[in-house]
Amino acid sequence: QALASAREHDKPVTQAIEVLPRDAMKLAEELSVAIDRGELVLFYQPKVHARRQEITSAEALIRWRHPTRGLILPGDFIPVAEQAQLIHRLTLWTIEQAIVDAATLRDHGHALRLFVNISGQLLSDDAFVAGACRMVGESDVEIGFEVTETSVIRDPASAIANLQRFADIGIRVSIDDYGAGLSSLAYLKQLPARELKIDKLFVTQLTSSNRDPLIVRSTIDLAHALDMEVVAEGVETHAALALLTVMGCDMIQGFLISRPIALDAFIAFMREDRHRRTPEVTRSSFNR
């Protein structure tokens, strides 16, 4: 499938629109219009602090409410946006929307930091970095950016400098999909990142695999040695949650707590959580 083959996260920016397959080209044109028409929407998935059992942040995950095709997931259009040079505009929209949504959440009594995913190629796009910094700097909410380590390795000098710019204005930087791409301890050490997310590749089968627990535990220890907080993504079972908590993992994210949901549903979820600190999920397994 054309779109699937365009999926590789970190294609060079130089791949211009004309090399896109016909289907992807059509999708890119539709997407460009969709941004202006307001067809894009951010869903939110909570990150739960394992020991405090508290939701302090959430990740914004983009969806496209396509007029005829229904809800399209980011894996099917973000790679196209990246190759068609739409990602800059799309991501500025995403940051702006996350800022609005964070203010709405705060109005409902939930002051959370909202994390936006930032494509690797944008880390060497100075105009994007300036625009993003201005937006977040002028806002009065807390924002974080999730970036993959692979995206840093492509152009380390400019990526590290730009991540530092983000950190300097209070944007929390999180290293996404850790362990699934090109990882380098040399760069990890230099990144101004406060948070490391272990890829769900190592988490979804944590309790049915021999090696994944060893990898996860050593990653947690490594992150702590570098003074970073660790998030496990892809937590789907009580057993995984219990094991991660014992291993000292700081934050939990996954379908067990909540799927990514629209803002209205997320506000309702937060209200429920306030009363009941998450379903049986947290209560039974955290206190075990």
Q: Choose among Mg ion, ligand C2E, none what residue 94 binds, the Cβ cut-off being 5 to 8 Å by kind.
A: ligand C2E
Query: Which residue, 57 or 119, has its beta carbon nearer to ligand C2E?
Result: 119
Neighbours of 280 (CB within 10 A): 9
One symbol per residue from 224 to 263: x for binding Mg ion (CB under 5 A), - otherwise; what is it? ---------x------------------------------
* Least distance between ligand C2E and beta carbon 101 (Å): 12
Q: Choose among ligand C2E, Mg ion, none what residue 255 binds, the Cβ cut-off being 5 to 8 Å by kind.
A: ligand C2E
Q: Is residue 195 within the footprint of Mg ion (CB under 5 A)? A: no
Tell me, rounded to whole angstroms, the distance of Cα 228 from its chain centroid. 16
Residue 230 CA to residue 221 CA, distance in Å, equals 9
* Least distance between Mg ion and beta carbon 9 (Å): 8
Query: Which residue, 144 or 260, has its beta carbon nearer to ligand C2E?
Result: 260
Task: Give the contacts of 260 (CB within 8 A, at least 6 positions apart).
Answer: 43, 44, 45, 59, 61
Q: Is residue 117 within the footprint of Mg ion (CB under 5 A)? A: yes
Q: Is 269 exposed, middle or buried (0-12, 13-18, 19+ CB in 10 A)?
A: buried
Residue 269 CA to residue 150 CA, distance in Å, equals 33
* Least distance between ligand C2E and beta carbon 282 (Å): 15
Q: Is residue 82 within the footprint of Mg ion (CB under 5 A)? A: no
Q: Choose among ligand C2E, Mg ion, none what residue 47 binds, the Cβ cut-off being 5 to 8 Å by kind.
A: none
Tell me, rounded to whole angstroms, the distance of Cα 4 from its chain centroid. 20
Residue 151 CA to residue 175 CA, distance in Å, equals 10
Residue 201 CA to residue 250 CA, distance in Å, equals 18
Neighbours of 217 (CB within 10 A): 16
Whose tokens are 């990150």? That residue is: 47
Query: Which residue, 119 or 162, has its beta carbon nearer to ligand C2E?
Result: 119
Bridge partners of residue 274, in order along the sequence: none
* Least distance between ligand C2E and beta carbon 206 (Å): 11
DSSP secondary structure string for all residues of 120-137: GGGGG-HHHHHHHHHHHH
Q: Which residue is nearest to ligand C2E (CB)?
A: 254
Q: Which residues ranging from 118 to 177 are in contact with Mg ion (CB under 5 A)? A: 146, 176-177
Query: Which residue, 42 or 105, has its beta carbon nearer to ligand C2E?
Result: 42
Write out the residues near ligand C2E by the rule CB under 6 A.
45, 61-62, 73-75, 78, 91, 94, 117, 119, 146, 176-177, 200, 204, 233-236, 254-255, 260
* Least distance between ligand C2E and beta carbon 149 (Å): 12
Backbone angles phi, psi at 40, to 5 degrees: -85, 145
Q: Residues interacting with Mg ion, by CB under 5 A?
A: 117, 146, 176-177, 233
